[in-house]
Structure formats: C-alpha cells, structure tokens
Amino acid sequence: MAYYYKPITLVAAWFLLSNILVTWDASYVLSRPHSFPGGKWHFLWKPYALYGEIDYVYGLPAFEVSDGFPSAQAFMTLVEAVFNYVYLFTSYFCTSPCWRLTGAIIGMMSATSCFSKTVLYMLCEIFSGYKYVGHNTWFRFVFLYIMPSGPWIFVSLYSMIAIAKQLHGALMSIPDATTEKKTK
C-alpha cells in the first residue's frame, strides 16, 4: 500500500499566513524608494516607516549605499512563497501519493530556506557589528527587531522537523526499506 501524505495543519496555516506577510514585506523592499515615507506608494506600507527606523536594511541607509542584500533576500522570499503554495496545493488538492510527497519535499525545502535566510539575516547583523540595528535602545532591539523574527526561525524549524519526520515515515513504508540488500 502506498504512503499517503497528510498535511500538517500548523505548517499549512503558517505557510498561508506567512505568505501574506512575506509577500507584503518583499513588495515593500522591491518597491523602494516608492515605498518609503513620502513615496507615491508608501500608503501601502505605513508600518514600515517605523520599521525602517529600527532596521536600516529596510530604511534609507541601506538603500543609499546600494546594499544588494535586502533586494536579494526579498527575491528569495518570493521564491519561498511559491514553494509554500506548491506545498499547500499538492497537500490539499492532489490525489496522487507521489505528488503529495513531492509537495512535502518542496515544503521542507521552503521551511529550510526560510529558517536559513532568517538566521543569515541576523548573523549578518552580528558579524557587521550591528551595522543596521545597533542604534536602537535595548527595548526596541528586543521587542521590535528580535521578537518579530522569532516565528520565522522557530515555526520554520518546527516545519522542517515535522515534515522530515513524515518523509522518514514514507521512506520506511517502502517494502524492504528497513532491510539491507546483500550484493553478490
């Protein structure tokens, strides 16, 4: 009997909710300078007026020095969002066990990418001596920079592990997967 992948509700809900947020976020970064305060499209991203003062990667300082990381990160975020939608589509609308498992692999890739990208983003700050966030008070740094990034680290890590456990179960359900074949 073929293994039938069953989507994980928390992972699916996270992929759906986070896709809305990260698409909004990426569109802000890729629309700069028009998304900045005073820009013709700023009304779509009003909360970013504050965030651009907390994290200069999102503000004028990184833009003025043509720092390519924010736009590259935003582009990769959109790739991730597509992977999330593939996971959701294959998990809920495909009936083929093969396609559902393929979607699970893509979902794990997406969660891994999100986790890695978020950790990399924070490590860039640490190794640059807090170049873009070091000007904040401790309170602003913790509550408006660190804590909002937490879900992208911890829920992505949970998603990676949960999907990996399911994929392991699928692999172990293959006949003879648990026995080593002898070669002549």
In a domain, 179, yes or no: no
121 part of a folded domain = yes
pLDDT of residue 170: 87
In a domain, 178, yes or no: no
- H-state helical runs in the chain: 9-30, 48-54, 60-64, 69-93, 97-127, 138-141, 147-172
* Total domains in the fold of the chain: 1
- Domain containing 79: what range? 9-172
Average pLDDT over residues 40-51: 97
Q: Give the pLDDT score at 181.
A: 60
What average pLDDT does the chain have?
93
pLDDT number for residue 175 = 77
| Long-range pairs, 15-22, Cβ under 8 A, ≥24 | 15/84, 15/85, 15/87, 15/88, 15/107, 15/110, 15/159, 16/84, 16/88, 18/84, 18/114, 18/151, 18/152, 18/155, 19/81, 19/84, 19/85, 22/77, 22/78, 22/80, 22/81
Residue 177 lies in a domain: no
Residue 57 lies in a domain: yes
Tell me whether residue 163 is in a domain.
yes
Looking at the domain assignment, is residue 167 inside a domain?
yes
Inside any domain, residue 3: no
Which tens digits make up the pLDDT trace of 113-169? 999 999 999 999 999 999 999 999 999 999 999 999 999 999 999 999 999 999 998
Q: What is the pLDDT of residue 174?
A: 80
